C-alpha cells in the first residue's frame, strides 16, 4: 500500500461513524493523540488481545502471563535507563513555536520526495539521518535539515532552534505532596510494560518453578509524551502494549532472537494477511538496552511502518535492577554445560523481548480489512464498505435478522440468539430493509448474517449470508452454531459442507 492518505482518512471516519474509535473527551474538542474505543472497537481490540494472549501463554508450555501495576517505584526508571535515556531529539520552529521529533520531520520530507519521484534522494536522506542519529550527532542533524531546506508545515519557514533531547515520560505526584521532600514523591506513568516483568522476574521464576528458557507475558497500558502525534492511533500518548520477555542462557541470544523473529511473523500471518504486507527492518541505532533489534513493519495506509519490535535486551535490565535494588537477580541453572561437564550455575539471564502495540495492531487489522466496493450493475448504482476482518477478530460473529417484524419471526430469531450467545457474540436487528441491515453488518465486519423468513417456520432452515462473497445459502438452524464456531476457530470460512438440499 503506497502512502494513501485518502484511505487513511476514510478509515478514521469509518471508525468514528461505526462505533470503533472516538476522539477522547470529544465534547471538549478532544485531547491530542488520545482516543476512546467505542462499542465495536473495544470488542475488536479485546479479540486481538485474547488472540495474542492465548498464542503467547496458553499455547506455550514455558510462558506465563502477569498483570503488573502501572505505577512502579521511581527507581525502576533510573535502573531501566529511561530517566536518562528515554529521549528523542527534537527541534522547534522559532516562528510557529511548533516542536518536531527530528526523525519524523526528516521522514515526512523524504516521503514528499518519494511522492515527487525523487526516491533515490529520499533514500540518501534517510540513510544520512540514520547515521547521524546513531552517533547522536545533533549539530549534524540540524545541518541536514538546513541542507535539505526542510520547512515547518505551519510557518513555512526554516527558522529552527538547535536540536535538543526531550524526555518522553509523563510524571505525576504520589500521595500527599506536603508529607514529602520536594521531588521524592514523583512517580512516572510507565512508558513500557516490560519493566513490570523484569522486577517480577524472580517472583514468577520461583513461585512458578520456571526453568530457563522461559517467558513472561503482559498486556497493559503505557504512556509516552509523544511530540508529533498526528497519525490517529498509530502514535498515541496513552496506548496499550502486548509484551513478552523471554529469559535465556547468556550466549544463546542470537538463536533465540532469530526464533522469536520468525515466531512473531508467523503469528501475524496466521491471521490470513498477505505476507507482502510485512517486512523486517533492522535497527541501526540500537536502544540503550539492546545488542540487536528489528521491527516487523506493516504496510499501513501511511506506508510501511513499525508494528512490532523484537529486541535482544542482553542482561541490561536485570543487571541494573540488581545494582539499584541490591537484590540478586540471578538464576541457578543446574543443567550440565557440555563444554565444562559442570552445571551452568548462577547467572543473570539474557532476554529476548517481543513488543507489539495493541492499538497499532488494531490499525493494521482494520486497514487490511477495509474495502470500498463498487457493486453497480447497468440497472442500478450500488456500493458498500466492508470490513473483511478475520472471523475470530470480528466484534459480532453472527447477526440474526427476521425478514419482517411479525408472524413469529422475531421470536424465532431471538431463540437462535439464545442458543448461540454463550458461545459467540450475536446481534439482533429487525429495523429497515434486509439490504440495509446487511450493509450495516458489512461495515462492522460481521462475517455471518442469518435471515429468518416464512420458510423457517415450515422447515427450521434459515439463509446464511457470507460477508465477503455476499453469497447466501439455506441451512438448517441446527447447523448454525457449528458453522460459526468453525469459522471463528479458523477451521473453515464457508458453509458448503453444510448445504442442505430440499
Ligand atoms: N519494551 C520495548 C518497547 O517499548 P518500543 O519499540 O518503544 O519498544 C514497542 O515499543 C511497540 O509499542 C511498538 O512497536 C509499537 O507497536 C508500540 N508503540 C510504541 N509507541 C507507541 C505510541 N506512541 N502509540 C502507539 N503504539 C506505540
40-86 pLDDT per residue, tens = 999 999 999 999 999 999 999 999 999 999 999 999 999 999 998 88
User: Is 382 within a domain?
Assistant: no
Cβ partners under 8 Å of residue 43, min gap 6: 395, 396, 425
Q: Is 348 in the pocket of ligand 1 (CB under 6 A)?
A: no
SS3 91: strand
- Are 218 and 297 in the same domain? yes
- Are 320 and 216 in the same domain? yes
CATH number at residue 455: 3.40.50.800
Output the pLDDT for position 3. Answer: 66
- For residue 442, the enclosing domain spans 396-489
User: Is 340 within a domain?
Assistant: yes
The pLDDT of residue 439 is above 90: yes
Distance 243 CA to ligand 1 centre (A): 10
CA atoms within 13 A on the CB side of 186: 12
Q: Is 358 in the pocket of ligand 1 (CB under 6 A)?
A: no
User: Is 373 within a domain?
Assistant: no
- Are 335 and 238 in the same domain? yes
- Are 222 and 355 in the same domain? yes
Query: Shortest CA distance to 20 belongs to which of 438, 468, 396, 392?
Result: 396
- Are 223 and 315 in the same domain? yes
Q: Is 235 in the pocket of ligand 1 (CB under 6 A)?
A: yes
> pLDDT per residue over 324-376, tens digit each?
999 999 999 999 999 999 999 999 999 999 999 999 999 999 999 999 999 99
Average pLDDT of 194-210?
Answer: 98
SS3 430: coil
How much is the mean pLDDT over the chain? 93
Domain count, the chain: 2
Output the pLDDT for position 113. Answer: 94
Average pLDDT of 470-499?
Answer: 78
Domain boundary, last residue among 351, 366, 381:
366
Spatial separation of the C-alpha atoms in residues 349 and 214, rounded to whole Å: 10
- Are 354 and 400 in the same domain? no
User: Is 38 within a domain?
Assistant: yes
The bridge status of strand 63-66 relative to strand 214-223 is parallel
Distance 281 CA to ligand 1 centre (A): 15
User: Is 376 within a domain?
Assistant: no
- Are 214 and 328 in the same domain? yes
Lowest mean pLDDT among 116-120, 242-246, 316-320: 116-120
Q: What torsion, rounded to 10 degrees, do the Cα atoms 153, 234, 42, 24 define?
A: -30
Distance 25 CA to ligand 1 centre (A): 24
Query: Shortest CA distance to 47 belongs to which of 102, 25, 55?
Result: 55
Spatial separation of the C-alpha atoms in residues 258 and 243, rounded to whole Å: 17
- Are 265 and 361 in the same domain? yes
Cβ partners under 8 Å of residue 241, min gap 6: 192, 193, 218, 219, 220, 221, 222, 355, 356, 357, 358
The pLDDT of residue 496 is above 70: no
Which one of 72, 104, 292, 309 would you pick to mutate in the ligand 1 pocket, going by the greatest count of ligand atoms within 8 A of its CB? 309
Q: Whose CA is nearest to atom 25 of ligand 1?
A: 235
CATH number at residue 58: 3.30.930.10
User: Is 458 within a domain?
Assistant: yes
> pLDDT per residue over 133-183, tens digit each?
888 899 999 999 999 999 999 999 999 999 999 899 999 998 865 555 556
Q: Whose CA is nearest to atom 9 of ligand 1?
A: 355
Helices 409-420 and 477-489: crossing angle in degrees, nearest 10, is 40
Cβ partners under 8 Å of residue 108, min gap 6: 153
Q: Is 236 in the pocket of ligand 1 (CB under 6 A)?
A: yes
User: Is 170 within a domain?
Assistant: no
- Are 230 and 362 in the same domain? yes
Domain boundary, last residue among 348, 366, 384:
366
- Are 236 and 358 in the same domain? yes
- Are 361 and 400 in the same domain? no
Output the pLDDT for position 402. Answer: 98
Q: Is 88 in the pocket of ligand 1 (CB under 6 A)?
A: no
User: Is 129 within a domain?
Assistant: no
Q: What torsion, rounded to 10 degrees, do the Cα atoms 59, 61, 62, 63 define?
A: 20
pTM for this prediction: 0.88
Domain boundary, last residue among 344, 366, 388:
366
SS3 350: strand
- Are 209 and 248 in the same domain? yes
Amino acid at each position: 500500500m503506497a502512502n494513501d492518505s485518502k484511505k487513511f482518512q476514510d478509515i478514521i471516519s469509518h471508525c468514528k461513524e461505526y462505533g470503533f474509535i472516538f476522539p477522547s473527551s470529544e465534547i471538549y474538542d478532544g485531547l491530542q493523540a488520545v482516543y476512546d474505543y467505542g462499542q465495536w472497537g473495544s470488542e475488536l481490540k479485546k479479540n486481538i488481545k485474547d488472540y495474542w494472549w492465548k498464542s503467547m501463554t496458553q499455547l506455550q508450555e514455558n510462558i506465563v502471563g502477569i498483570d503488573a501495576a502501572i505505577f512502579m517505584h521511581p527507581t525502576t526508571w533510573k535502573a531501566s535507563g529511561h530517566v536518562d535515556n528515554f529521549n528523542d531529539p527534537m527541534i522547534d520552529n522559532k516562528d510557529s513555536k511548533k516542536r518536531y521529533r527530528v526523525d519524523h520531520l526528516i521522514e515526512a520530507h523524504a516521503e514528499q520526495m518519494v511522492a515527487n519521484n525523487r526516491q533515490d534522494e529520499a533514500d540518501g536522506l534517510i540513510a544520512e539521518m540514520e547515521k547521524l542519529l546513531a552517533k547522536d550527532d545533533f549539530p549534524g542533524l540540524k545541518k541536514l535539515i538546513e541542507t535539505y531546506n526542510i520547512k515547518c508545515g505551519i510557518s513555512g519557514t526554516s527558522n529552527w532552534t538547535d536540536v535538543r533531547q526531550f524526555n518522553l515520560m509523563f510524571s505525576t505526584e504520589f500521595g500527599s505532596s506536603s508529607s514529602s521532600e520536594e521531588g521524592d514523591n514523583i512517580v512516572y506513568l510507565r512508558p513500557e510494560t516490560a519493566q513490570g516483568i523484569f522486577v517480577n522476574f524472580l517472583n514468577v521464576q520461583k513461585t512458578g518453578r520456571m526453568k530457563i528458557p522461559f517467558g513472561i507475558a503482559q498486556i497493559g497500558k503505557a504512556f509516552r509524551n509523544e511530540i508529533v502525534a498526528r497519525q490517529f492511533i498509530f502514535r498515541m500518548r496513552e496506548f496499550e502494549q502486548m509484551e513478552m520477555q523471554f529469559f535465556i542462557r547468556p550466549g544463546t541470544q542470537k538463536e533465540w532472537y532469530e526464533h522469536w523473529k520468525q515466531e512473531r511473523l508467523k503469528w501475524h500471518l496466521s491471521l490470513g494477511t498477505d505476507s507482502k504486507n510485512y517486512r523486517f527492518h533492522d535497527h541501526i541505532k540500537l536502544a540503550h538496552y539492546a545488542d540487536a533489534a528489528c521491527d516487523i513493519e506493516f504496510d499501513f495506509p501511511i506506508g510501511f511502518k513499525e508494528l512490532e519490535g523484537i529486541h535482544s535486551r542482553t542482561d541490561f535490565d536485570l543487571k541494573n535492577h540488581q545494582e539499584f535494588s541490591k537484590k540478586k537477580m540471578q538464576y541457578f541453572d543446574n543443567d550440565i554445560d557440555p563444554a565444562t561437564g559442570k552445571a551452568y550455575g548462577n547467572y543473570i539471564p539474557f532476554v529476548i523481548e517481543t513488543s507489539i502495540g495493541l492499538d497499532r495492531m488494531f490499525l493494521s487489522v482494520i486497514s487490511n480489512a477495509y474495502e470500498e466496493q463498487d457493486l453497480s450493475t447497468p440497472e442500478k448504482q450500488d456500493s458498500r464498505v466492508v470490513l473483511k476482518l478475520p472471523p475470530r477478530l470480528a466484534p459480532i460473529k453472527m447477526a440474526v435478522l427476521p425478514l419482517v417484524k411479525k408472524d413469529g419471526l422475531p421470536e424465532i430469531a431471538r431463540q437462535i440468539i439464545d442458543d448461540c450467545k454463550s458461545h459467540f457474540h450475536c446481534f439482533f436487528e429487525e429495523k429497515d430493509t434486509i439490504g440495509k441491515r446487511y450493509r450495516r453488518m458489512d461495515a462492522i465486519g460481521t462475517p455471518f448474517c442469518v435471515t429468518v423468513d416464512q420458510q423457517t417456520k415450515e422447515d427450521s432452515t434459515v439463509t446464511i449470508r457470507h460477508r465477503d462473497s455476499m453469497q447466501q445459502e439455506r441451512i438448517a438452524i441446527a447447523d448454525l452454531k457449528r458453522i460459526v464456531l468453525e469459522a471463528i476457530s479458523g477451521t473453515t470460512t464457508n458453509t458448503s459442507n453444510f448445504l442442505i438440499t430440499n
